[in-house]
Amino acid sequence: MSKLRLYLLGWITLIIFPLPAFWALWYFDGISLNDFLKIDEILTVKTGLGIELGVAYAFFALLILQAPVFEKLPNRIEVVIQEMKLSFVDTLFLSLCAGIGEELLFRSGLQHWCGIWITSIVFVVIHGYLNPRNWRMSLYGLIVFPFVLLLAYGYDHFGLWFCIGAHFAYDWVLFMAIREK
């Protein structure tokens, strides 16, 4: 995948993904853009707690991925990431795009109507981590699922930026660890 395409996908995730969630919340519930983005909550202890959770869970996932059962995963994410030759800035950009764009779509949007469990399952399925044709990938999905549930419950207790911080940190630690191999 070219860097141009990768950056285009990052921008789409950051800008396009949140649009249906915002539109629906604005149209049906009268939510303003400021209430949707919760900008005033960015620099809080809760965001820091989210970052800590993301870092901790990423190290846990990296440890688990060393198990022999995952060696035979087709299209291993490590190979894909290493082939992209991501720079420090690339990993930072992609992690921010995913953290912000996906959490706005899933936590602020979908979770509002579908609840914690359905939203969490959809999140894991859309990422391809629950695959009936690949039990190893589904096993990884079962490892990621508790993290996604923590984000979902965390949204209700700690807010949007807790989730964004956790998602960003999780992705960034994985990108940085994998690209360095």
pLDDT digits (tens, 9 = 90+) for 101-156: 999 999 999 999 999 999 999 999 999 888 888 888 899 999 999 999 999 999 99
Percent of the chain with pLDDT over 90: 76
pLDDT digits (tens, 9 = 90+) for 156-171: 999 999 999 999 999 9
pLDDT of residue 72: 78
What integer pLDDT is reported at residue 131 of this predicted model? 85
pLDDT-derived band at 71, boundaries 50, 70, 90: confident
Give pLDDT, residue 77: 66
pLDDT of residue 2: 82
3 pLDDT above the threshold of 90: no
Task: pLDDT band for 65, please (50, 70, 90 cuts).
Answer: confident
| The 3-state secondary structure of the chain, one letter per residue | CCHHHHHHHHHHHHHHCHHHHHHHHHHHHCCCHHHHHCHHHCCCHHHHHHHHHHHHHHHHHHHHCCCHHHCCCCCCHHHHHHHHCCCHHHHHHHHHHHHHHHHHHHHHHHHHHHHHHHHHHHHHHHCCCCCCCCHHHHHHHHHHHHHHHHHHHHHHHHCHHHHHHHHHHHHHHHHHHHHCC
pLDDT value, residue 181: 63
